[in-house]
Chain A
Amino acid sequence: MSADIFAKKRRNSLVLFLIIGAATVVSIIITEFSMAKGFTSVPKAIQWSLSNFYPTKDSLTKLPDILIKLKETLLISIAATTLAGILAFVFAILGSNTTRVNAFFGGFSRGIAVLFRNIDVSIWALVLLFSFGQSSLTGYFALFFGSFGFLTRAFIETIDEVSSSSVEALQATGASYLTIISQSVIPSTIPQMISWVLFMIETNIRNATLVGLLTGSGIGFTFNLYYKNLNYDIASLVVITIIISILCIEYISNYVRRVIL
């Protein structure tokens, strides 16, 4: 009996490995990826970056310009995330099974969240480019829509997980809907929600670089400008400033998470 189970397990994992292997081969053919080129390009890229991709003394003169763009990008990411968080909270309350008003609104807000979450920021950026042009607002709204979908899902899960029992307790005492939200749901979920917002800010700074590349604004545009003009030393300086700012924000949010959760 037990030998049977092991044989079955072995057969199952063999089938799984074969499927994965076949899918890998198909993917390699379809994308025209060459293994040999892939392996040789890593040492080549390292060699290239060691000889070209570092800031020189001259590139430091561009630092003030880069920092202005970096600040703009950071502010866009933060502002997009916080406002998306507020809107997402409203939708999460309507969508969560514990706090929804009725099944229709519940399904509606969950549906909206699925739609927004699965349209990537790059798509939003390309669409918004038509109406907002190369202004900061293109990046802002692209990040806003992307974060809104993600945060709504995260908040719905948080509300369902954390506050169902306290909501029931308050309902039993006859508390009104708004009292339940303000006295039970918000206090019990706010640490989790802040932690999700901080996570989203980190993600959005990385996404902002991509959006900037596509729409010609912010730090992504600055990188692209120097990269396309083969000014690799300045481009590397841009990368370094991005790394430093993301690591700083990661450090801050880790600290906040440690204290509040």
Chain B
Amino acid sequence: MQAEGPIKPFPSHTGQDLDKRLLDLLSKKPFSKSTIVIRLSVLILAILTMYAFVSFDYKDVKLLDALLLTMDNLKIMFFEPHLKHFTFTQALYQVSITLGLAFLTTIFGAIIALMLGLLAAGNISTKPLSIVIKGTVALIRAVPTVLWVLIFAVAAGLGSVAAVIGMTFHSISYLVKAYSESFEEIDKGAIEALQASGANWWQIVFQVVIPSSITYIISWTFMRFEINFAVAVAMGAAAGAGGIGFDMFMASGFYFDLSEIGAITYFILIIAICLEIFATHIKRKLKVLS
């Protein structure tokens, strides 16, 4: 936490003054700006939550009955999983389509975001360019991924092309923010030293910027891959992108088959947990290296 305002020099060091100053500090602390903001945000969130429950559109749903039903449904899902409308190998193939969508999106996103991230980082780019890119990226990020996919679906038709392009848009905006922030944390001295020795922009980027932030780049990119896998499942369900998500949508919306949803959930869960373990492993390894 930062101190509020400049620290004033103390003219006389009499005991009385010190006592007064201590009292001042003690009485001031509970009312500092950060405490007020913390309390205010907790209060506002509490009020909004209560208001939300009052204003919900319950549509005659009995909360307790529905919750008990949910428990039953979860029991069917997780303890009686079976595949009816497709085989195990087909399910594996569908999962690999979803993984493929996530991978393509992450790779395209990372390549484009790396270039834009360099131009968006305040310390290696010009200020106007940085502001323009950061603003555009914030705007792109504000639109949910599913809407990007649906917007591209009008031009490219529903399918993998619209899904990859739409998801890439969102990945770019996420990664540009992450990359440019890690570029901005680079030691100023290293860049200045290279500038002073007459290095051009490309040399600075390849000799200082990328090497000193490569661990961040890798862990952010992998984190985005994890997110993109979940997004690819969702896009299969909501925007016709294919893959395991679409099968899940069919099992839920058309066959009403909870056991099949359970089996699909296991597939997704196993992949997602593997990715998480791998990501944690990479992060730990990179931390040791740096």
Binding site for B on A (CB under 8 A): 20, 23-24, 26-28, 30-34, 37-38, 41-42, 44-45, 47-49, 53, 72, 75-76, 78-79, 82-83, 114-115, 117-123, 126-137, 140-141, 190-191, 194, 197-198, 206-207, 209-210, 213-214, 217, 220, 223, 227, 232, 239, 242-243, 246-247, 250, 256, 259-261
Whether A246 lies near B165 (C-beta < 8 A) is no
Give Cα A24–Cα B101 distance, bound, in whole angstroms. 10
Instruction: Select one of A34, A44, A82 contacting B46, CB under 8 A.
Output: A82
Is B145 engaged at the interface, CB distance under 8 Å to the other chain? Answer: yes
Cβ B38 vs Cβ A122 within 8 A: no
Chosen A-B contacts, 7 in total, with CB atoms closer than 8 Å, are A27-B101, A27-B104, A115-B269, A126-B261, A127-B252, A210-B144, A261-B1
Which residues in A have their C-beta under 8 angstroms from that of B276?
114, 117-118
B275 nearest in chain A by CB position: A118
In the complex, the number of residue pairs spanning A and B with C-beta atoms less than 8 Å apart equals 216
Check if B160 is an interface residue, CB within 8 A of chain A. yes
| Chain A residues positioned under 8 Å from B38 (CB to CB) | 190-191, 194, 260
Once the chains are docked, how many angstroms separate the CA of A27 from the CA of B105? 10
Whether the pair A122, B233 counts as a contact (CB closer than 8 A) is yes
The interface size of chain B toward A, counting residues with CB under 8 Å, comes to 77
Q: Which listed residue (A45, A134, A223, A261) contacts B147, Cβ 8 A?
A: A223
Q: Tell me if B103 counts as interface (CB < 8 A to partner A).
A: yes
**Distance to closest chain A CB from B194 (angstroms):** 20
Residue ID in chain B nearest A29 by CB atoms: B100
* Beta-carbon nearest neighbor of B74 in chain A: A127
Residues of B within 8 Å of A121, CB to CB, are 234
Q: Which of A48, A128, A250 is B155 in contact with, Cβ under 8 Å?
A: A48
Known: A132-B66, A133-B59. A123 touches B155 (CB 8 A): no
